[in-house]
Amino acid sequence: MKPEQPPSHDTSYKALFSCPELVRDLLRGYVPGKWLEQADYDSLTRINASYVSRSNKQRHDDMVWRIDIGGHWLWVYLVLEFQSEPDPWMAVRIMQYTSLLAEQLVREGVQEGLSEGRLPPILPIVLYNGKPEWRAPLDVADCFGPPPDGLEAYRPALRYLLLDERRLQQHPQKEMRNFADAVFRMEASQRLQDAIAVIAALKDVLRTPELQTVRRAFSQWIKALLQRRATDSMIEEIDTIKDVFEELEMLTEHRETWFDDALEKGILQGQEKGFLQGQEKGREKGREEGREAALIAVARNMLKRGVSVEEIVQVTGLQAKAVQSLLH
C-alpha cells in the first residue's frame, strides 16, 4: 500500500494562510501603519468567496479576510504568488481582483446598507516567494504610458503591498518572533540545522489545544517543503512522516534530505574527483559535474513527485530545456 500523497507546496502554503493566526502575524509584522494599534485581531474572519471575471476564471488561490479597525471593517485581499518569475502585469490583475471584490461588496451593501454610502477600505497584499527580484510596477498607474497634458488626473491608480519573501529583511533576533516570521525563516533556510531550529521553536509554541489547526497546517507545509528538497533515497521515509514536530530526531539524523546539503555533498564529491585527477582543470570540471549531478538528481526526484517544470526551474536553477529532457 502506497503512503498517502502529501499536499503540494502550493496547497499546504495556502492552508497555512487560511489560519487567522498566520494572517494576524503577517499584518502585525509586515504591514505598516498606526491602524494596527486599533485592530481587533479576534475579529479576523476569512470570507469564503470566489470572484469570477468575465472569462469565468475563478480566483481560488487568493484569499479575502476582513478585520475590525475601531468599529469599521478593513478588507484584506491576499494574493499568494507562486510563479517563478514576477508578473509584470500584477498591478493590472490587482485592479481587476479589487474591482470584483468591490462589486460583490456593493451587491451585499444594497441589502445590508453601506457605511455612509461608501465601500470599506481594501488592502491588496501580494506574497511572493520566487527567486528573481520583483521589479514589476507596484501601482497600476505605472502600467500605463504618460497621458496627454491635462489628463494626468484620469490615469488609473491603485497600489498593492508587496511582500517579497526572499528579500524581506530578517530580524536580527535569532528567536522566532511569530508564525509569519517562522514561515519566512523556513523558506530562507539553507541548512537543515537552521530549519530544525525553527521547527523546534514552533513545537514549543504549538502545544496548546487551541493551536492544533495551526500545528497541522505547519506540519503539512514543512513536509511538502522537505519533499521539494529531498534526495531520491529519502522520499519514502519522508512520505511516512505524519507529524514533523514529533520526528525532529529523524530529520537530524538524515541531513542529506535537505536540498542544499545534498547539493553541497555533490559539489564536494565533484571536488574530490577533480583533485584525484591531479589537475586544476579536473578539479573545476569535477566540481561542476558534482553540482550538476546533484541538481539533476533533485530535478528527477521532483518530477516523480509531480512537481511542475516551472517550479523545478525555480528551486534548482536548471534551464527549462534541461528539466524537460528528463521527462523522456
pLDDT for the residue 53: 47
Axis-axis angle for helices 179-188, 20-30 (nearest 10): 80
Pairing of strands 62-69, 39-47: antiparallel
Concatenated DSSP letters of 210-263: GGHHHHHHHHHHHHHHHHHH--GGGHHHHHT-S-GGG-HHHHHH-GGGSHHHHH
pLDDT for the residue 171: 55
Gap between the Cα atoms of 256 and 192, Å rounded? 9
Cβ proximity of 270 and 291 under 8 Å: yes
| HEC secondary structure over 106-138 | HHHHHHHCCHHHCCCCEEEEEEECCCCCCCCCC
Beta bridge partners of 181: none
Strands (E), the chain: 39-47, 62-69, 72-81, 122-128, 161-164
For residue 210, which amino acid is it? Answer: E
Neighbour tally for 114: CB within 10 Å: 13
Digit-by-digit pLDDT tens for the chain (328 residues) are 334 444 556 788 888 999 999 999 999 999 999 999 999 999 999 986 555 444 444 455 688 999 999 988 999 999 888 776 789 999 999 999 999 888 888 887 755 556 677 889 999 999 988 878 899 999 999 999 999 999 999 999 999 999 988 777 655 556 677 899 999 888 887 777 788 888 888 988 998 999 999 999 998 898 888 777 666 666 667 777 778 888 766 666 655 445 445 555 554 455 455 545 555 555 555 556 666 777 787 778 777 767 777 777 776 778 888 888 887 7
Residues 134-152 as b or e (16 or more Cβ within 10 Å = b) = bebbbebeebeeeeeeeee
Backbone angles phi, psi at 158, to 5 degrees: -160, 125
Gap between the Cα atoms of 86 and 133, Å rounded? 8
Gap between the Cα atoms of 185 and 218, Å rounded? 13
Gap between the Cα atoms of 207 and 153, Å rounded? 54
Distances (CA, A) of 172 to 169, 176, 185, 197: 9, 10, 12, 15
Gap between the Cα atoms of 116 and 321, Å rounded? 57
User: How many Cα neighbours within 13 Å face the side chain of 100?
Assistant: 22
Q: What is the pTM of this model?
A: 0.72
